[in-house]
Structure 1
Amino acid sequence: MKTLSSILIALVLGCSLASCDSNGTTADSSKPKARGSIGEIILVIDSVKWAGPVGDELKEIFESDIPGMIRSESKFKVNTVDPRAMTRILKMSNNLIYVTTFDDKGSASQVINAQFSKESKEKAENDPNIYSLRIEDEYAIGQEVLYLFGNTEDQLIANLRKNGDRLQNLFEVRERGRLEKILLARKNSAANFEANEKLGIEINVPASYKVAKSENDFLWVRQITPSANRADISLFFYETDYTSEEQTFPVNILALRDSITKQHIFGDPEDPNSYVVSEKQIPPAFRNMVINDNFTTEIRGAWKTNNISMGGSYLGYLMVDQKKGKLYYIEGFVFYPNEIHRDALREIETILLNTNVSWTDDQGA
């Protein structure tokens, strides 16, 4: 194991998480492959610190609720481990976070602190903005190891509060990348052909998804899983003309969504009154972003059928392609009664963010 002393000394003072990158070494083929489920984080920390203010900030970053859900579900599955109880197996985890403060004299924190040299601690003391260090493949191939530290708890808390979104995004992007390699190893070319022909967009969906409905402005693909071990996931894609900025207002996005599902998606295909609607008692959460140079609004919420007892969670994106003068609404929704929806929503997010609404015929299918 490389010492944190040599790595920290090489860092530029005042670095943030964005600049505290990998140590640049090549992967050691003799190391084992990292292990662990998607979205799982092993957090190595003194139990007293986890139960205190530092733990509260970490929980806000990694265990905060996914917005728009029917019930409380955290963004990541966090398992805390006492530093003194770390085993070889645990050190092979995909996502490993060590947390300590240099003023902590407890035996658990001292196990982590012993990895920092006196010179490293002095550098951190002289620049309170140094609070994190990323090392890839430290114990296993394909691993992300993150050290979060501070001279005092107050200093560490301040940095966590300031950089919480960045820390959260680091693991969200990483886990989507891991999942993408698994999901899109085999793609449904027929579904992509339908999207090209009917909507003028390029989609990437796993081979396990099948086309349920295809029209000139609408495509529905579905992964039907009668097993209780996997969620029933549907994805749909819709195109219309972009005529006004008002179409991107949250109230109008919600109205558009409900108009699409009322026309196309039913809990019981034989019952026209069983169409899908947004759950109004749980306010959806909206977030603006830019994806592939297109203004995009993310919406997370809950759905139900109009007249039968079915419901679940959904994640959608309204995308504007001003060059084409088109507005696209793409969504994935989950039916998985009494089970956790977090993994299914991450799957939906990974697939939908691989959609290219700016696709044109001259780009090829």
Structure 2
Amino acid sequence: MKKLWIFLVVASLLISCNTGNNERVLSEANGRINNLLIVMKNSEWQGEIGDELRKIIAEPVLGLPQPEAQFEVSQVPLENFGSMFKSSRSILQIGIADKNSFKTATDVYASPQKIIAITGKNKEELIHQIQENSATIISEFKNSDLRAVRRKILKEYWKPSTIETFNKQGYSLKIPRNYSKVEDTGDFVWYRYHLFGGNSMELISYTVPITSEDDENGNNIVVIRDAIGEKYIPGEIEGSYMITEEAYTPHIFEVTLDGKKAFETRGKWEIKGVFMAGPFLSYTVVDKANNRLVIVEGFTYAPSINKRDYMFELEAILKTLKIN
């Protein structure tokens, strides 16, 4: 009977997402980005099923100086899943029921909200469902949070037409109005958001011509990045400038951005000759039509504090790239 009850709760949750959605007025979802509420039995959370979930959701974010998990996690049993919890931004509901199922739903109890419901006929099949859908679990919650961040920070942004580099080079990025211009040469643009205590979030962008297959295949990303750092991003002392940290090999993945082949690079930057460093995230887009690479990058200077959420905000901005 308990299994049937769990399945009916999940089914009604998913049905509610698809009926009368346009007519309902939803409250605003609560909870910070990269926070995940897991609804499942305490005994299952503390056992093998919970262990399998933790392997996925506690995976550290790549490219950060200190390990930080992808999500901050809270767990409640189904009987305590009341109205306060139902307004959470990201909800993962897990349980044993009469069938194997993996379902996603959007804006069920609040907005913006993403809910994933997973059921299995027994412990082994439930674990298999979690393993089989691990990449989807991460991408669904991450993409939902990225949309929520953009909705919040891009209510006001600098019109791309007011930025010389974007006009001259024929592409654009939505940069929030609370970022201030550091440099805009027509070939290189740099904006900064001042955090507390001298910390900052930085956005830079530029283009370079494609000169070889290595450029197109992402083999020269670090070389190009270091050349730009030497030319445009000086350090505090004479002769110092930004480079890719030599002791840490960046993680590079082929992705798609603005419908084009691109490379996502996550790594660490440092100032050559100065004790100053932090994480960076860049996207190198292969713009074959114009025989060039379009590069957008965000990096953070915030020593001694967690930087996951800062880098996540920068990712949300970088993914607004549009090439004319």
Matches within 5 A, 1:70-89: 70-89=65-84
What is the aligned counterpart of 1:349 among 311, 315, 321?
315
More strand, by proportion = 2
> Which residue is 2:287 aligned to?
321
Structure 1 residue aligned with 2:220, among 241, 252, 264? 252
The one of 49, 52, 59 equivalent to 2:54 is 59
Whether contact under 8 Å (1:22, 1:134) holds in the other structure is no
Q: Which of residues 191, 194, 218 is equivalent to 1:221?
A: 191
Closer, same or farther: CA 5–336 of 1 in aligned 2, 3 Å: same
Structure 1 347/231 Cα, relative in aligned 2: closer, same or farther at 3 Å?
Answer: farther
Superposed CA RMSD = 2.7
Corresponding residue number in structure 2 for 1:157:
127
- Taking the aligned partners of 1:316 and 1:192, their CA distance within structure 2 comes to 23
CA drift of 1:251 comes to: 4.3
| CA distance 1:172–1:152, change in 2 (3 Å) | same
Determine if contact 1:198/1:218 at 8 Å carries over to the other structure. Answer: no
In the alignment, the residues of structure 1 paired with residue 268 and residue 120 of structure 2 have an alpha-carbon distance, to the nearest angstrom, of 40
How far the C-alpha of 1:162 sits from its partner, in A, is: 1.5
Deviation at 1:47, TM superposition (A): 3.1
1:202-255 alpha-carbon deviations (Å, 9 max, x no partner): 111000111111223211111122x15x95111111111112221144541111
Q: Does 1:335 align with 2:305?
A: no
For 1:165, give the aligned amino acid.
Answer: A
Partner in structure 1 of residue 44 of structure 2: 49
Establish whether residue 25 from structure 1 lines up as the match of residue 7 from structure 2. Answer: no
C-alpha distance 260-49 of structure 1, shift in aligned 2 (>3 A): same
The residue type paired with residue 247 of structure 1 is: D
Q: Which residue of 1 aligns with 2:90?
A: 95
Unaligned runs of 5+ in 2: 1-5
Q: Percent identity?
A: 24
- Post-superposition shift, 1:314? 0.4
* 1:36 to partner: Cα distance: 1.1
Offset from partner CA, 1:300-333 (integer Å, 9 cap, x none): 0111111222111100011111111111221100
Distance 1:144 1:305 in 2: 40
Aligned pairs (5 A) from 1:91-170: 91-102=86-97, 121=98, 124=99, 130-170=100-140
Look up the equivalent residue of 2:269 and give its one-letter code. W
- Displacement of 1:181 after TM fit? 0.9
Q: 1:89 aligns to what SS in structure 2?
A: helix
- Decide whether aligned partners of structure 1 residues 98 and 28 sit closer, same or farther in structure 2, where only a CA change above 3 A counts: farther
Superposition deviation, residue 51 in structure 1: 3.0
State the SS of the aligned residue for 2:147. helix
Q: Does 1:243 align with 2:175?
A: no
Cα distance between partner residues in 2 of 1:261 and 1:330? 13
Contact kept, 8 Å, 1:68 with 1:283, in 2: the verdict is: no
* Contact kept? 1:248, 1:297, Cα under 8 Å: no
**Shift of residue 6 of structure 1?**
9.1
Q: Which of 1 and 2 has greater Rg?
A: 1
**What is the rounded CA distance, in whole Å, between the counterparts of 1:214 and 1:90 in structure 2?**
46
CA distance in 2, matches of 1:333, 1:6: 43
Q: Quick one: which amino acid aligns to residue 180 of structure 1?
A: R
Q: Can you give the 5+ residue segments of structure 1 that lack an aligned partner in the other structure?
A: 12-19, 103-120, 125-129, 360-365
Find the residue that maps to 1:70 and give its secondary structure.
Answer: coil
Name the amino acid aligned to 1:298.
E
How many aligned positions are there? Answer: 320
Alignment correspondent of 1:127: none
The equivalent position to 1:195 in structure 2, one of 162, 165, 168, is: 165
